[in-house]
Amino acid sequence: MSWAGLALRGAGGPANLGAMSEPPRAQARPTVRSHHGDDFVDDFAWMSDKQSEQFLAHLAAENAYTAARTAHLSSLREELYNDISSRTRQTDLSVPTFVRHTDGSAWWYYSRSVEGLDYSIHCRLPATSADRIPEVTTPPPGEQVVLDENELAQGQSFFALGLCDVSPDGRRLAWSEDLRGDERYRLRVIDLAGRTPLPAPELPVAGGGCWCGDDRLIYLTVDDAWRPDQVWLHTLRSSPQMPATGDTLLLHEPDERFWLGVEESRDRSRVLIASESKQTCEYRLLEVADPDATARLVAPRREGLEYSVEVGTDALYVVHNAGAPEFALASAPFDAASPADWTPLVPERAGVRLIGVSAYADYLVLSSHANALPLIEVLTRTASGGWSAPVPIPFDEPLYSAAALSADDPHTDRIRLVHESLVTPRRLDELRLDTGERRTLKQSEVLDHPVHGRYNPGAFVQRREWATAPDGTRVPLSIVHRADLVLDGSAPALLYGYGAYEAAMMPWFSIPRLSLLDRGFVWAIAHVRGGGELGRSWYEQGRLLAKPNTFTDFVACARHLTQGGWTSPDRLAAQGGSAGGLTVGAAVNLAPDAFRAVHADVPFVDALTTMLNPELPLTVTEWEEWGDPLHDAQAYRCMKAYAPYENVRPGRYPSVLATTSLNDTRVEVTEPAKWVAQLRRIVEGDTDRPILLRTEMVAGHGGVSGRYQAWRDLAFELAWIIDQVVARA
């Protein structure tokens, strides 16, 4: 069902549209929130009851109002949807990956998409050699469908796949599915030969998990706050008639700051169990050959010690921050029990934030961030058994995203690299680690547009600029625009920002973005503090009590674009999602004159109220990111000073589009609903700058699940942005 149809039905049908010239006005029910000697009157706290009839009716009215205020954009939305669909190869496939199973069988695994179908089809094809990748353009003879997501999603309003993993012997498939968007999954197991269902746990599980040998599964369950807090071992029965032995609890994490995760080692001999908070980690190793034994600690948790473990053929390889704020690499014996057992291998390097390592018998592949770009390096085993110095893999563009994909074979002599940029579609290369030979396996296509013709990367320019924050810090921007741009301030522009969790927003390619570039837009990423583009220190300067730097950085980037002639304030839109929604929401309160329009997607805009409630999903685990305002008065004052909902000021604001989902468990629908109600009540009324709320009634944090409806949602958002900064400028 389309969002528009849902909105109209929820509001009583099309006959109500004529009555929607005035926006919904949420009822004020004052509730006093008192903490640390501060009283805050929250008129919309009643919206925390997401299932109340009054709140659901309010969301329906908001959807109907948004539909009415954007009805004139229907033709533009259709044009933008056609832009996306016409440029996208809708029947496509991934490059097959070779896997040899423990039963001796070998297969090529790949996924296909089919025009007209929303979801992927996961397949495999018998293999004879890892060197000859099959050309799979249509279903070939011998293809076996492992899992068809379209069949699973049939009749469902929402579908998301979590775990999808074939057993080490290649005979069974385990997968998990979410049918609401609330990230509570149901685990399923089948025998692939006969598609026979095998008994699996019936309780809700987290999205992850892994195999532990051929007939055991490891899965995770969550607590009331949606935190993965327990790891379980499930022994498969070959038929429902076999007696159930009961699942074994491997680990329970009682500390609410920590969440659990599991992963198989590359050689499938061990399972790694991670217990992590925002600033402390702890790993355990479980031997697959003896799963009844207690998982062994690699190093006990120590406040502030972060490390990750990679199982190599000869040792453990540990990326850690022990005495190395930007992280270093060490090796350790398999029976390591503390950092005292770690042997330094690659020391911390200035300006290089080491993220991870993939360990193979003769090669180590390092992944890092440096100068707001990815850095991939290779170490080669020497004749003496040691390791060479890291050698960087070059990329031929000034701005790009790149990653080394993990290979299944621990003895491989080749890896795959993915690379893209603001102007280059994603490319998959194979790199020979022994010779350095590189060949392209797949170049993603942009199909010819019926009006704009063939995509020409040379028609666009990407570049790096640096804005200056109020404290003098230089903040990088990644910018793309048409080559014929004139810097006279007349171009429309969209500034995107995130800035949290040390996430690095490296420049990426986007087919929907082409619809903006074709229309003369400048598109830019503000690499603000709180992200990880410039290392751990960049993150530290944008979290906890330093969080306000994120917002002043974003405003500085907006001012840089306008002062440099890239655009003007009445042609500049801001966009951010989740924590990025907080970024744009706080920036708008600081400098409402800097922007013409703001799109905030699933925005974390009532941050203080959420962080004060430890019963909400994720709150306690997030205290190390934002601060603990419940127990720390200084953290409370800091968050109160920037929380978008609590800092709306009278005056003229940009137009606002807030998009959200009813079943979002990461940023609850309550937050954008309250924010929109607050904006409507306080800011200067302006019919030319509407404040809109749009809610997907069956979806989660990532929005709708089907690709075609996702394209229509993108077209809706792009049409609104274009209307605000082009048609109304």
Q: What's the pLDDT band for 341 if we cut at 50, 70, 90? A: very high
Alpha-helix residue ranges (DSSP H) falling in 128-188: 149-153
- pLDDT higher than 90, residue 11: no
What CA–CA distance (Å, rounded) separates 84 from 144?
31
pLDDT of the residue at 13 = 31
Give yes or no: 701 in active site.
yes
Tokens linked to 166? 């074939």
For the chain, domain boundaries: 3-87+459-727, 91-148, 156-305
Q: Which residues contact 141 (CB under 8 A, 6 or more apart)?
A: none
Q: What's the pLDDT band for 547 if we cut at 50, 70, 90? A: very high
Tokens linked to 450? 């019926």
Query: How large is the greatest C-alpha to C-alpha distance in the chain, in angstroms?
Result: 80
Angle among Cα 173, 179, 181 to the nearest 5 degrees reads: 115
List 578, 655, 661, 705, catalytic entry:
578
pLDDT of the residue at 618 = 81
* Residues facing residue 359 across a β-bridge: 364
Greatest mean pLDDT among 2-6, 505-509, 662-666: 505-509
pLDDT of the residue at 10 = 28
Name the pairing type of β-strands 328-332 and 343-346.
antiparallel
Tokens linked to 562? 């306008």
Residue type, 552: T
What CA–CA distance (Å, rounded) separates 506 from 494?
16
Residues in the chain: 729
* Residues facing residue 543 across a β-bridge: none
- pLDDT higher than 50, residue 359: yes
Q: Over the Cα atoms of the chain, what is R_g? A: 26
| Residue 705 region by backbone torsions, left for phi larger than 0, else alpha for psi between -120 and 50, else beta | alpha
What CA–CA distance (Å, rounded) separates 727 from 725?
6
| Residue 388 region by backbone torsions, left for phi larger than 0, else alpha for psi between -120 and 50, else beta | beta
Nearest by Cα to 214 from 294, 103, 339: 103
* Residues facing residue 209 across a β-bridge: none
What CA–CA distance (Å, rounded) separates 72 from 726?
15
Q: What's the pLDDT band for 183 if we cut at 50, 70, 90? A: confident
What's the rounded mean pLDDT across residues 588-605? 97
Nearest by Cα to 664 from 184, 157, 51, 181: 181
Query: CA distances (Å), 199 to each of 117, 185, 245, 353, in order?
Result: 30, 16, 12, 44
CB 561 within 8 A of CB 524: yes
Q: Which CATH class is domain 156-305?
A: mainly beta
What CA–CA distance (Å, rounded) separates 416 from 426?
13
List 42, 229, 601, 664, catalytic entry:
664
CB 411 within 8 A of CB 367: no
- pLDDT higher than 50, residue 17: no
pLDDT of the residue at 724 = 96
Alpha-helix residue ranges (DSSP H) falling in 508-601: 511-518, 536-540, 548-563, 579-590
What's the rounded mean pLDDT across residues 621-628? 96
What CA–CA distance (Å, rounded) separates 306 from 280?
5
What CA–CA distance (Å, rounded) separates 284 from 476?
38
Asked if 3-87+459-727 and 156-305 have one fold, the answer is no
Instruction: Please report which helix (H) or strand (E) contains residue 345, including its range.
Output: strand 343-346
pLDDT of the residue at 1 = 23
Superfamily of domain 3-87+459-727: Alpha/Beta hydrolase fold, catalytic domain (3.40.50.1820)
**Upper half-sphere CA count for residue 324 (Cβ side, 13 Å):** 25
Min mean pLDDT across 14-23, 43-52, 278-287 is at: 14-23
Select the more confidently predicted residue: 177 or 685. 177
pLDDT of the residue at 226 = 86
Min mean pLDDT across 126-130, 159-163, 198-202, 575-579 is at: 126-130
What's the rounded mean pLDDT across residues 49-59? 94
pLDDT of the residue at 255 = 95
Nearest by Cα to 185 from 170, 205, 202: 205
Residue type, 336: A
What's the rounded mean pLDDT across residues 117-121? 93
CB 296 within 8 A of CB 316: no
In DSSP notation, 595-650 reads -SEEEEES---SHHHHHT-TTSTTHHHHHHHH--TTT-HHHHHHHHHH-GGG---S
What CA–CA distance (Å, rounded) separates 727 from 704?
28
- pLDDT higher than 70, residue 604: yes
Mapped onto helix, strand or coil, the DSSP state of residue 514 is helix
Report which DSSP code applies to 657: E
CB 262 within 8 A of CB 271: yes
What's the rounded mean pLDDT across residues 491-515? 97
**pTM surpassing 0.75?**
yes
Q: What's the pLDDT band for 239 if we cut at 50, 70, 90? A: low
List 182, 661, 701, 713, catalytic entry:
701
% of the chain with per-residue pLDDT over 70: 94
Give yes or no: 413 in active site.
no
- pLDDT higher than 80, residue 21: no
Can you point out the beta strands (E) in 10-49? 31-35, 38-42
- pLDDT higher than 90, residue 354: yes
pLDDT of the residue at 133 = 77
CB 518 within 8 A of CB 548: no
